[in-house]
Structure 1
């Protein structure tokens, strides 16, 4: 294929023979020379089959941050190469689209860095590396088919972890946790505590905590110390059905749920509690359970990255079956869903008697402030404003009714706006843990 330089030279060279006595012969001569030069140029250009590609770089990145990948280009032929390379990714990867120009001598390698600024969480794949090999004159180039370029492109997927703005709340929540966590050992036994260690009696200890058998064995007065219970189970259930696609502000409801679930998971892991994850709608999208605290938390964060809302109705019967099939150990189950009447009343409410007898249930829902705003009539209201306000009031009344029905069944309901949602969910966990009600 010819380049723009060839087309420019042709545009400048072809009109010149018109000034000579034999313009047609001169024009043909110019065309022949230019065509011959282009053919010679493309024959001298390095073969693309001699180009070797390999890639390394960042495999994960938090949404909002920047990642880089490095593409190593090697010339395995015995001639020099002038290459033009474009590294293409899916649009949401936010890749730098600037083409790269390389001159590689025989056997030489060069590195090309691509900067990625993703706009969505999930897996973002490299699509294709497009290669062009130019001749030394820059008049023509070699380029293979799109399928060939895709075949030689090194496979690479960047996992974009979800945005985690609630991370800023961790110091505050951890400070609250340390008040009653194992770092503060209590002198007396209370609700939600378990035996820690024996130690020597000191003035001020409750005499009821003296262990008389251990004192007789050691010939000294020793007391039992207690600490808050550990190894409790926390199960985060994320509803990825159609209601999770509703936008709260400028992001889907699911993103707010992921943010709150991340804060809760990190906090519970710091408290040495077991955190499991179940994300589902009409089918189970992801499940994380088992493993130690150090290995499970990275797996949980990574699995949350791939979640997207599905435009299907959520099957709460499936969720109940997943929760009830587990062992009989009591757990704190936090269901991140919407307080919509249809899915809750028809889907979740009939299953609550079985679930609440086995587990402690919390339903966490993000409140849309736009609904409350529409419920207030402006000073000069139009007929359209009146209809919107009536619809908003009806939606708020339905939400209040659904909340009352859930609370009657012993479910703790968190209904907060996006700004305080993650904080409130974690506060409920801390309150239950302090009271020994997990």
Structure 2
């Protein structure tokens, strides 16, 4: 049973009547009797909450930062009209609005409550419960109960780097799209025969075809398709660090999604590994024009783990799933604990069989602090920032000495810089 504020107001009014009454005892008995009778009648006439059935409809997946409209349907299977106050409880990170509805559902009919979710975090979001309060016609009291209407909304990574996709695809078309790249060194996949022109490499002449055609024919090639690209996300403790309001891991996810979209459009097969002390996600290589659905769904539940990353286990995982030569893009952080103590001992096994890119997102705040000279405090901050930047440059040189390409870019250009490195390797025929 639930008592409303209207009943409380009547009780307060009866107190005033007792205070100013010449016969307070009889007035108190009369006021209490009338109030109890009214509440009893109201409670008896209230519709039952157990006769309500709740169902949900709407999207089950959405990207972070987008509004998700859901519909909560209320069906009255009882014989009385239900005047209900409905509260739908969701986790705070779901951003659910509104939380409460007042609806009147006649017997045997259905009403709909519109709900909008604006999630602020990745992952699965489930509603807690639905609390229903069915009031009587006087609005003094009612019945209250709980219902469950299960639903799961999977919040995917936001993919803010989507704006770079048209430019990346335009560059991809220049490399191996409508205008096929010609000549030796640009690929080893045979494309077609064409007439010889002065300046062509004589080693590309197809003598048998030339004899049949009566003219000198040259073989033309294009860069290989169906290559392997492995997006390897370090989910160890350093990935939990934030740049602005966004964790490093989320920046890495965004860059991996852009790289995966471009690589799949180029005809390459994209794999995904999220690893710290153990593998969190292992998504096998698959072709297709759009791997974003698979990758986004796999990354939605990945969170940083406050533990050291096992780079030897990472190398073993890569070597186990990648038999052919592949491009391995490791999204990690440029700090000595990760590079010198963890990654460098595992690099020879990777670089011997694969092309490796190490991609790290840099903090723009470091450049701002390094430029500070206003006072003593700013000077110390500038010295610390310069030391950090120098350390990153030294680690970059160390990795390049092992034949590794390094991307160290701020968040605004991080995703596009990683994809540009992939396209540069593809253009040079190094994949």
TM tier relative to shorter chain: over 0.9
Match of 1:237 among 232, 236, 257: 232
Shift of 1:118: 1.3
Aligned residues of 2:277 and 2:310 also touching (Cα < 8 A): yes
C-alpha distance in structure 2 between counterparts of 1:389 and 1:218, whole Å: 71
- 1:28 corresponds to which residue? 29
C-alpha distance in structure 2 between counterparts of 1:245 and 1:125, whole Å: 24
C-alpha distance in structure 2 between counterparts of 1:25 and 1:417, whole Å: 80
Worse overlay, 206-215 or 131-140: 206-215
Matched, 1:408 2:401: yes
Shift of 1:128: 1.7
Shift of 1:371: 2.2
1:107-154 deviation line (CA, Å, top 9, x unaligned): 11111111111112222222221111111211102113xxxx3xx322
C-alpha distance in structure 2 between counterparts of 1:79 and 1:249, whole Å: 55
What are the equivalent positions in structure 2 for 1:7-26 lying under 5 Å apart? 7-26=8-27
- 1:392 corresponds to which residue? 385
C-alpha distance in structure 1 between counterparts of 2:275 and 2:182, whole Å: 44
The 3 A distance-change label for structure 1 pair 385 and 219 is closer
C-alpha distance in structure 1 between counterparts of 2:170 and 2:188, whole Å: 19
C-alpha distance in structure 1 between counterparts of 2:427 and 2:197, whole Å: 26
Match of 2:271 among 249, 271, 276: 276
Aligned residues of 1:289 and 1:296 also touching (Cα < 8 A): no
Shift of 1:265: 0.7
Aligned residues of 1:269 and 1:297 also touching (Cα < 8 A): no
Aligned residues of 1:233 and 1:332 also touching (Cα < 8 A): yes
Aligned residues of 1:288 and 1:296 also touching (Cα < 8 A): no
Aligned residues of 1:237 and 1:335 also touching (Cα < 8 A): yes
**Structure 1 stretches lacking a partner, 5+ long:** none
RMSD of aligned C-alpha atoms?
2.4
- 2:335 corresponds to which residue? 340
- 1:41 corresponds to which residue? 42
Matched, 1:165 2:160: yes
- 1:57 corresponds to which residue? 58
Match of 1:255 among 247, 250, 272: 250
**Structure 2 stretches lacking a partner, 5+ long:** none
What are the equivalent positions in structure 2 for 1:92-241 lying under 5 Å apart? 92-144=93-145, 149=146, 152-197=147-192, 211=206, 213=208, 224-241=219-236
Aligned residues of 1:187 and 1:205 also touching (Cα < 8 A): no
What are the equivalent positions in structure 2 for 1:313-392 lying under 5 Å apart? 313-379=308-374, 381-382=375-376, 384-392=377-385
Shift of 1:294: 4.4
Shift of 1:350: 0.6
Aligned residues of 2:235 and 2:305 also touching (Cα < 8 A): yes
C-alpha distance in structure 2 between counterparts of 1:90 and 1:373, whole Å: 37
Shift of 1:374: 2.5
The 3 A distance-change label for structure 1 pair 20 and 396 is closer
Aligned residue for 2:421, secondary structure, equals helix
The 3 A distance-change label for structure 1 pair 207 and 400 is closer
Q: How many pairs does the alignment contain?
A: 429
Aligned residue for 2:138, secondary structure, equals coil
The 3 A distance-change label for structure 1 pair 221 and 108 is farther
Q: TM-score, normalised by structure 1?
A: 0.91
The 3 A distance-change label for structure 1 pair 385 and 106 is same
Aligned residue for 1:282, secondary structure, equals coil
C-alpha distance in structure 2 between counterparts of 1:55 and 1:205, whole Å: 69
The 3 A distance-change label for structure 1 pair 295 and 137 is same
Shift of 1:315: 1.3
C-alpha distance in structure 2 between counterparts of 1:347 and 1:221, whole Å: 55
Aligned residue for 2:313, secondary structure, equals helix
Q: TM-score, normalised by structure 2?
A: 0.92
The 3 A distance-change label for structure 1 pair 106 and 204 is farther
Worse overlay, 344-353 or 365-374: 365-374
C-alpha distance in structure 2 between counterparts of 1:186 and 1:51, whole Å: 66
Shift of 1:324: 1.2
Aligned residues of 1:87 and 1:114 also touching (Cα < 8 A): no
1:375-399 deviation line (CA, Å, top 9, x unaligned): 34423x22x4444333323322222
Aligned residues of 2:83 and 2:102 also touching (Cα < 8 A): yes
Aligned residues of 1:376 and 1:389 also touching (Cα < 8 A): yes
